[in-house]
Amino acid sequence: AQKVTQAQTEISVVEKEDVTLDCVYETRDTTYYLFWYKQPPSGELVFLIRRNSFDEQNEISGRYSWNFQKSTSSFNFTITASQVVDSAVYFCALSEDRGSTLGRLYFGRGTQLTVWP
């Protein structure tokens, strides 16, 4: 079973719209880490955020915000007032705090976001 599910394969919005990218994860560990990465059309992977399982505070960074809810095993990512430059594939990932697999990242399949002018 997939540890990280990004059910939205593709999303299209018009500039200035708000958009939320969903991420649902599965783990039996009590300590784990969640990540979001951005892959723009140029292809590189850019780290956006890491959230530790013991810190359920939501985070805001400019137009980006993240909603972490352990009760629903979700770590959703919202872009407010989207811009064309936000067009990219966004990946959610999970890392578990186990000795044998510590540090391994499990990626979702990604969500392609297209922002139209």
Partner 1 sequence: DADVTQTPRNRITKTGKRIMLECSQTKGHDRMYWYRQDPGLGLRLIYYSFDVKDINKGEISDGYSVSRQAQAKFSLSLESAIPNQTALYFCATSVGQGREDTQYFGPGTRLTVL
For partner 1, the binding residues (CB under 8 A) are 4, 9, 33, 35, 37, 43-45, 47, 50, 52, 91, 95, 97, 102-105, 107-110
Closest distance of CB 16 from partner 1, Å: 29
The residues, any chain, with a CB within 8 Å of residue 61's CB and separated by 6 or more, are 49
Length, in residues, of the chain: 117
> Nearer to partner 1 by C-beta: 3 or 80?
3
Cβ distance to partner 1 smaller for residue 47 or 116: 47
